Amino acid sequence: MNDCLFCKIIAGEIPSDRVYEDDQVVVFRDINPMADVHLLMVPRAHVAGLNDLDETHDALMAHMLRTLPKLAAAQGLTDGFRTIINTGKGGGQVIFHLHIHLLGGKQLPGFG
Ligand code: 5GP
Ligand code: ZN
């Protein structure tokens, strides 16, 4: 029994505003956007987070990273974009299905 919210979104059991999908990933809009553009990229395979990766995920992770700039361009983010991966409770992770936030639009605030 899989109670993972993002697995349900991937399966289409919970609706989402999907902007991209392929055989390895699904990308949809964050329900609570923190920027003009705020996407979440998730692998179709359930992986809880960065701590759960091993070498079998290397091709998937490379694919995810290499797909991000294409998504940003498709969203009109010609000036740049930000990516965030929260890991564990201490890192602010709330949904324990690995996801990369892609944010952009108006000038994003700096850190610190
Ligand atoms: P985390 O804090 O785990 O890195 O980020 C989880 C993100 O998932 C949050 O930005 C939150 O707004 C988003 N989120 C939570 N529930 C849903 C949902 O049901 N649909 C969508 N599209 N995003 C969600
Ligand atoms: Zn999942």
The Cα diameter of the chain in Å comes to: 43
pLDDT beyond 90 at 110: no
Task: List the structure tokens of 96.
Answer: 């324990």
Residue nearest to atom 16 of ligand 1 (CA): 31
Pocket test for ligand 1, best of 18, 86, 95 (most atoms within 8 A of CB): 95
Nearest CA to ligand 1 atom 13: 30
State the distance from the centre of ligand 2 to the C-alpha of 44, rounded, in angstroms.
8
Domain ranges of the chain: 5-104
For residue 26, give the nearest of 12, 50, 43, 13 by alpha carbon: 43
Main-chain dihedrals φ then ψ at residue 38, nearest 5 degrees: -145, 100
* Calculated CA dihedral for residues 87, 59, 24, 67, nearest 10 degrees: 80
Residue of minimum CA distance from atom 19 in ligand 1: 31
Domain 5-104 has CATH 3.30.420.10: no
99 assigned to active site? yes
50-108, pLDDT tens digit by residue? 999 999 999 999 999 999 999 999 999 999 999 999 999 999 999 999 999 999 998 88
